Amino acid sequence: MPDRRTPLISGNWKMHLNHFEALQTVQKLSYLLDGLLDGDESAAVEVSVHPPFTDLRTVQTAIETDRMDIVLGAQHCHWEEVGAFTGEVSPAMLAKLNVAYVIAGHSERRELFAETDEMVRRKAAAILAHGMTPIVCVGETLAEREAGSTEDKVTGQVRAALEGLAADAVGGLVVAYEPIWAIGTGRTASAEDAQAVCALVRATVADGWGQQPSATLRVQYGGSVKPGNAAELMSRPDIDGALVGGASLVSEDFAAIVRASRG
Ligand code: PEP
């Protein structure tokens, strides 16, 4: 069992920043994070940025040319390798750009683009098959929280997304717990509530895939994470990082969240 899971702080840029703006943003972030990511093991943090598809090649080139410690991520992909899927991008195409992490099942994709649990499951498997790591998003609506069904919703989504995966694959995954009512609203789950649901995600994995993968799986919290609340959230034992939307567009704020997440 690991002494410490390395926190992963991921910036989901959503449909923001053209490729010129993306280049400036990643360069500024790298400058602000200089010396912070390659320090001592016990304080290590991993940072990924998830630009829109049109920015990926530009950001990849910047990361590799300037040898940044930042890792490239994507926001979405299809599960098929190639074919007649107008508008889609395949996991093979992302892997070719050295993408390391791909978000699967973000609530905006589930709600606005009708992504189902089954689609998320197929995507997660395809992302893994191409050597990348899925960040599988789960979380309840406000109505579900108020009805007391958070537990059922989250455990159901975790089981459905990971169904059929081997234990060692599950142990390397990232699950992001994102209460939908906290995304982009300025409302954050309390650190206690976030910890309770992140622990539930881990317990669901222990139940279905065993203790070993549940101990290594990383569980992020997402939903209005800001420099002012990051340290408290990250201090909880089952929260292994954050998926950050709005605050990741401002390099100073995102760097402050990374700084707050160091052990
Ligand atoms: C997100 O998009 O995953 C997210 C958590 O957004 P925000 O940080 O803006 O709430």
| Average per-residue pLDDT for the chain | 95
Which has the minimum average pLDDT: 92-101, 116-125, 185-194? Answer: 185-194
pLDDT band at 262 (very low <50, low <70, confident <90, very high): confident
> Whose structure tokens read 């300037």?
66
Catalytic (active site) residue 178: yes
Catalytic residue among 46, 76, 106, 115: 106
- The pTM of the full predicted model, rounded to 2 decimals, is 0.96
Confidence (pLDDT) at 2: 56
Nearest CA to ligand 1 atom 8: 245
Confidence (pLDDT) at 38: 67
Of 194, 15, 201, the C-alpha closest to 112 is: 15
CA distances from 193 to 183, 236, 243 (A): 15, 10, 16
Mean per-residue pLDDT for 157-161? Answer: 98
Does residue 194's CB lie within 6 angstroms of at least one atom of ligand 1? no
Mean per-residue pLDDT for 58-80? Answer: 97
Does residue 73's CB lie within 6 angstroms of at least one atom of ligand 1? no
Show the domains of the chain with their CATH numbers.
8-36+43-260 (3.20.20.70)
